[in-house]
């Protein structure tokens, strides 16, 4: 086959209708061979072609006649000098760092996927000369054409956003309403049954756990487990082929079709991305892609000891964000997922690692500078997991404007309060009000706080109120893995029980936590299945459990359906009450001369909280008054936003507490919208004078016209007509 010089840009394999241009960056390579395969089962490549040109450290060539579907990889020649950071091994076929589709996944076989001779300590210094062409992961050339039609991003404003974190496979794998072949796939997520559930809840965005193609770790496979969560990326461009019902190159088209269907339903698609490390692990890991393409450029190596990797992630390596080609790789990936795949935003795993220019986290690092000036990426939703495992890695509140953050302090405060820990009312109030102590500076707004009580990592909501201790034996690590400090409470019995009193208390605790989440300022994030009482039987680190322990259980049950309906009602309440989703932080003082504060914190006596109230170690109760006419905000037309006045009543004490209600105006009374202790409103409430908050409960009251006043107002409107 005659090879033309081709072009150094774009990187990857680009089909132009007549042939394919191949381009791969490697600063330290001495030669690059393109390997073409006839199919995924071939023992060796059918053709090996030396890329003829090197421009700006990019090796490139053009092959006429090559078409979409072609499988390929690279053999990269260069020095084998691990102590200098170089691990080139042309006996191993490398996956293109810009692969858009995966044509063959890894096939573990002995240790041929490792670039060194696995054996005694120090063996990583010896190059392994066995060929792995028959088991190496391969890329596939794609045809990017797709009919998007009138697809348009929903562009839901941040303050109106409700996020629903889900795993593509686990969400529909057990759903009888999804065609069997599509369960656990992108097609399953766009099924009528799946979209109907999302719309009935009222969520505005799905946050997909990693959908980049990832490594199934050898040590897990050998144990009969798998990397279910997917936080071990191998390709930053290719959708995970294992989640595809259509298969192969069609996985790209299936993903696009899913996004189009979710957009048509008014639901944004946010994807969880892992750019801080790759699935190649430490110096003792396999050689799959970046390590064999140019290890010294792509990874952070230990200064003076370049055989080893800087590891801020706990996963063995860290990408070298100080190298311009690594920054380009990440930015090209982000733009690809926005422009070609139409996603609406990103959640960045261990985002602090991306900000480390030298060693310390630098919030003005090159990565943030590049993001902020980019006309594409700066316009989508950006969510940081604001910590990593390195020194100084806990950076909650320290990310710059444009960024929102998973608020770990919100999670911890709300869990501790409802567990019954005393002296937390001040901390809880700060979190309910949008965490201005973290985000109220530098031009950031309440939506910078992504509020959550549970996430994929940790206990489910049901397990949070059912277990005092983690039970991770199924992970085969003797229960050593997973977080020890969960701030959970089992309500008196460890694990599942038939005791009706314990079960009722657990259901109420779930409602307490969910109500708190959905009446807090900021952006709420729910975890798929929490609205149906999903359990992992006390496993708080189910990353390797690709089975019914992790998959959602859709079997109908009265408790599950009641909780799901309760969550849907809370989201409707949030959507219809402007005071619950403010765009600005509270001022705590009268606004616009009307003498009404925009927020007031009340003790059970009805008076505003004093310093003594805030600091009392025994305090477990408070109320929050949110006047609907003191928002100080305008809508998109410039008109003042006015809503109902709400009173939020929180009581984490085990006994009931009587709250004196603020006196209502003439012909008005307080009506109950939510009561976690009485969701069916079977207990009477007069609406005047006082409200008795049941032990361990939360309630939402609204200031409303009395029935007689409403009838007169309706009659007046009818007369005017």
Active-site residue list:
349, 385
How far is it, in rounded angstroms, from Cα 549 to Cα 540? 11
What's 609's DSSP letter? P
Rounded to an integer, what distance in angstroms lies between the CA atom of residue 185 and that of residue 527? Answer: 18
Cis bond upstream, residue 10 (ω within 30): yes
Q: Are 19 and 63 in contact (CB under 8 A)?
A: yes
Beta strand 668-675 with 621-626: parallel, antiparallel or unpaired?
unpaired
**569 contacts 518 by C-beta, under 8 angstroms:** no
What are all long-range contacts of 1-4, with beta carbons under 8 Å and residues at least 24 apart? 1/47, 1/49, 1/63, 1/65, 2/64, 3/49, 3/50, 3/51, 3/52, 3/61, 3/62, 3/63, 4/61, 4/62, 4/63, 4/64
Closest to 566 (Cα-Cα) out of 527, 533, 595, 602? 533
By C-alpha distance, which of 660, 623, 616, 620 is closest to 645?
623
Q: What is the CA radius of gyration of the chain?
A: 28
Query: How many Å apart are CA 389 and CA 656, to the nearest integer?
Result: 42
Q: Which of 212, 242, 234, 446 is nearest to 347 (CA)?
A: 212
Give, in order, the Cα–Cα distances in Å from 695 to each of 326, 654, 678: 55, 5, 11
């Amino acid at each position: 086959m005659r090879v033309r010089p081709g072009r150094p840009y774009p990187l990857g394999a680009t089909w132009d209708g007549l042939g394919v241009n191949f381009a791969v960056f490697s600063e330290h390579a001495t030669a690059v061979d393109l390997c073409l395969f006839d199919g995924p089962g071939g023992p060796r490549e059918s053709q090996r072609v030396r890329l003829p040109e090197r421009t700006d450290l990019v090796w490139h060539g053009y092959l006429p006649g090559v078409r979409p579907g072609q499988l390929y990889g690279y053999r990269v020649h260069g020095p084998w000098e691990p102590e200098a950071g170089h691990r080139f091994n042309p006996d191993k076929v490398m996956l293109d760092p810009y692969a858009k589709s995966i044509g063959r996944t890894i096939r573990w076989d002995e240790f041929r996927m490792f670039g060194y001779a696995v054996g005694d300590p120090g063996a990583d210094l010896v190059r392994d000369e066995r060929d792995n062409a028959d088991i190496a992961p391969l890329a596939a050339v794609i045809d990017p054409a797709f009919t998007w039609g009138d697809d348009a991003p929903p562009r839901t404003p941040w303050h109106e956003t409700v996020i629903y974190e889900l795993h593509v496979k686990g969400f529909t794998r057990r759903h009888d309403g999804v065609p069997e072949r599509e369960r656990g796939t992108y097609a399953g997520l766009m099924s009528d049954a799946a979209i109907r559930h999302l719309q009935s809840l009222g969520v505005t965005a799905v946050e997909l756990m990693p959908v980049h193609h990832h490594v199934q770790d050898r040590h897990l496979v050998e144990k009969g487990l798998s990397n279910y969560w997917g936080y071990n990326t191998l390709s930053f461009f290719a959708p995970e082929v294992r989640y595809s019902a259509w298969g192969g190159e069609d996985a790209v088209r299936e993903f696009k079709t899913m996004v189009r269907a979710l957009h048509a339903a008014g639901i944004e698609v946010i994807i969880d991305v892992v750019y801080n490390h790759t699935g190649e692990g430490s110096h003792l890991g396999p050689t799959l892609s970046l390590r064999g393409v140019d290890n010294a450029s792509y990874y952070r190596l230990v200064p003076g000891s370049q055989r080893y990797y800087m590891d801020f992630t706990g996963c063995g390596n860290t990408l070298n964000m100080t190298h311009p080609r690594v920054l380009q790789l990440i930015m090209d990936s982000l733009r690809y997922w926005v422009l070609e795949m139409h996603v609406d935003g990103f959640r960045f795993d261990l985002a602090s690692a991306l900000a480390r220019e030298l060693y310390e986290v630098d919030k003005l690092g090159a990565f943030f500078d590049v993001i902020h000036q980019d006309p594409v990426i700066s316009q989508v939703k950006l969510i940081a997991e604001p910590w990593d495992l390195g020194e100084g890695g806990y950076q909650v509140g320290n990310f710059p404007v444009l960024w929102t953050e998973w608020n770990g302090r919100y999670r911890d405060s709300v869990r501790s309060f409802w567990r019954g820990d005393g002296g937390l009312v001040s901390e809880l109030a700060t979190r309910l009000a949008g965490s201005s102590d973290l985000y109220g500076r530098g031009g950031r707004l309440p939506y910078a706080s992504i509020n959550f009580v549970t996430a994929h990592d940790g206990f489910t909501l049901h397990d949070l109120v059912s277990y005092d201790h983690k039970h991770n034996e199924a992970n085969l690590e003797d229960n050593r893995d997973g977080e020890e400090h969960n701030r959970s409470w089992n309500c008196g019995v460890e694990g599942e029980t038939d005791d009706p009193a314990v079960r009722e208390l657990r259901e109420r605790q779930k409602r307490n936590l969910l109500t708190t989440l959905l009446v807090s300022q900021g952006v709420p994030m729910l975890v798929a299945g929490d609205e149906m009482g999903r359990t992992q039987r006390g496993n708080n680190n189910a990353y390797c459990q690709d089975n019914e322990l992790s998959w959602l259980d859709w079997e109908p049950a009265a408790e599950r359906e009641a909780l799901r309906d309760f969550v849907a009602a809370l989201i409707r309440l949030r959507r219809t009450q402007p005071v619950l989703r403010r765009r600005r932080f509270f001022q705590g003082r009268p606004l616009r001369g009307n003498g009404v504060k925009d927020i007031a914190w009340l003790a059970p006596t009805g008076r505003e909280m004093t310093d003594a109230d805030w600091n009392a170690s025994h305090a477990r109760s408070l109320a929050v008054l949110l006047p609907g006419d003191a928002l100080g905000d305008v809508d998109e037309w410039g008109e003042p936003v006015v809503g109902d006045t709400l009173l939020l009543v929180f009581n984490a004490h085990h006994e009931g507490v009587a709250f004196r209600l603020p006196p209502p105006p003439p012909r008005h009374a307080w009506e109950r919208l939510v009561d976690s202790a009485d969701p069916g409103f079977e207990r009477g409430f007069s609406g005047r004078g006082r409200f008795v908050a049941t032990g361990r409960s939360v309630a939402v009251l609204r200031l409303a016209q009395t029935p007689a006043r409403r009838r007169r107002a309706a009659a007046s409107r009818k007369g005017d007509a």
